[in-house]
Structure 1
Amino acid sequence: MSKMSKSSNIMRLVLLQLKGSKDKAANVQNATSKIEAAVKEYRPRLITLPECFNAPYGTKYFREYSESIPDGYTSQHLSSLAKKHQIYIVGGTIPELGENDAIYNTCTVWSPTGELVAKHRKMHLFDVDVKGGIRFKESETLSAGNDFTIIDIDGHRIGIGICYDIRFEEMARLYRNAGCEMIIYPAAFNMTTGPLHWELLQRARANDNQLFVVTTSPARDPSAEYVAFGHSMVVDPWSKVQQTARTGEETVVADIDFSLVEQVRQQIPVFAQRRLDLYATEWKTK
């Protein structure tokens, strides 16, 4: 099985659904071993990791586990792996220690040369209080990012979001307006919102914007303080679920056919049929 060539519309993608712990080094080593195994067996062009893959997901842990980017412990490992195997890595998220001592929930993207090509700080913080379900306030510890993030892999534009970002359709629309053919969301939905909205939101964003939506979740650990839903997923531009994981640790392999994006957009040309004389979604600059 070969990697995607520059002239090809097919890209092999691997999603690593990983089980985390309170041991950062063990979490990073687990990701490393799973990346090594996936490269050996599947030879992907791009590997994606889960949200908060190197730390427990919880406001009381974010500062303790935070590190600088790109010179921190986790970043250096991801950079080395990307360079060693000449692949792209969307490094899930880690708690980032930023400027002025602020903490961010941050996704890093590494190129086949080991270079940090993008850094996305979660724009929409997960502050919810569902009666009889879950209460969680990321803003107790985290600061929100202010920048959209688009990467280019072999001529294909890919937007980056993180978990709660997927609920904001304007963000996905702006990525579509900018020519994105895929949006990748490292995400850790929970046992309240997961059963209700996980697949629904992914299929909605894919359908609205006629692109691929990719989510990578932590594996479900019933003993954890925050229990992730699992079910990492690839949804195609027709809004069909192309691949999905179950709840445990799992490697998901998907061959992404980017020509499908253009097929769908030509057959149902909603982008050209928008009434921009009546409404618009704007990309504001700071």
Structure 2
Amino acid sequence: ASSFNPEQARVPSALPLPAPPLTKFNIGLCQLSVSADKKRNISHAKKAIEEAASKGAKLVLLPEIWNSPYSNDSFPVYAEDIDAGGDASPSTAMLSEVSKRLKITIIGGSIPERVGDRLYNTCCVFGTDGELKAKHRKIHLFDIDIPGKITFMESKTLTAGETPTIVDTDVGRIGIGICYDIRFQELAMIYAARGAHLLCYPGAFNTTTGPLHWELLQRARATDNQVH
């Protein structure tokens, strides 16, 4: 595509821009310690969401893999059938109930999702009516091997998602990524072209490479695309 017609270089092409939010709103970011007790993790997340809402948050975000230890051994054990809902997905059932009761929008961090014989790292977005508005499956899996420091291969158990996720909510149009997705500017460019007001990347960075990247990449994606 010609550099004089930058929209022709974007796939998919830009959508009509939505109206920006008319008022300011508070965002609650929940930092959660995770244990091997799944019920405890769900209860802990619920209390954190309720606390954020009690302080005026209209949008609440959870971290990546908040219902499970972050390990390849744990992902198959803690995975849920999100589409089935109910007892098959107690984590998302809680998010649905709380978002409706408190009339808030929740970016549900991420949990391991089971679909047939595949596992995904999946973020669910719930609206103020308690309905599931969008599901984002982590596109860029994090495989790292730094001798003497850290070795972890998400691709040993997880399947990569294939689809960008943008969702209209009561607080504006939001583009969703998960952790390592933020490393790749193309995803953020697509969201900006589609009129996103806000980009949300729930993450669980390791302490080896994380401190080098988490602030730098957030600032870069925001500056490059002129979004929050």
Q: Secondary structure at the match of 1:17?
A: coil
Within-5 A mapping of 1:1-286: 8-40=22-54, 42-70=55-83, 71=85, 72-98=89-115, 100-154=116-170, 156-212=172-228
Q: Tell which deviates more after alignment, 42-51 or 146-155.
A: 146-155
8 Å contact kept, 2:28–2:53: no
Over the aligned positions, Cα root-mean-square deviation in angstroms equals 1.4
CA shift at 1:43, angstroms? 2.2
CA shift at 1:129, angstroms? 1.2
Report the TM-score, using the length of structure 2 for normalisation: 0.86
Unaligned ranges ≥5, structure 1: 1-5, 213-286
Unaligned ranges ≥5, structure 2: 1-19
Call closer, same or farther: CA 1:7–1:67 in 2, change over 3 Å.
Answer: closer
Call closer, same or farther: CA 1:105–1:7 in 2, change over 3 Å.
Answer: closer
Paired amino acid for 2:36: K
Q: Secondary structure at the match of 2:67?
A: coil
Q: Which whole-Å deviations, capped at 9, do the CAs of 1:41-84 have from their partners, x for residues lacking one?
A: x1221100000000001111100000111401111111000111
Q: Secondary structure at the match of 2:163?
A: coil
Paired amino acid for 1:187: G
Q: Return the alpha-carbon distance in structure 1 between the equivalents of residues 166 and 136 of structure 2.
A: 9
Q: Which whole-Å deviations, capped at 9, do the CAs of 1:219-249 have from their partners, x for residues lacking one?
A: xxxxxxxxxxxxxxxxxxxxxxxxxxxxxxx
Q: Which whole-Å deviations, capped at 9, do the CAs of 1:73-124 have from their partners, x for residues lacking one?
A: 11111100011111111110000011x3210000000111110000000001
8 Å contact kept, 2:72–2:156: yes
2:16 paired residue number:
none
Count, aligned residues: 205
CA shift at 1:131, angstroms? 3.0
Q: Secondary structure at the match of 2:123?
A: strand
Report the TM-score, using the length of structure 1 for normalisation: 0.69
CA shift at 1:8, angstroms? 2.3
- State percent identity of aligned pairs: 50
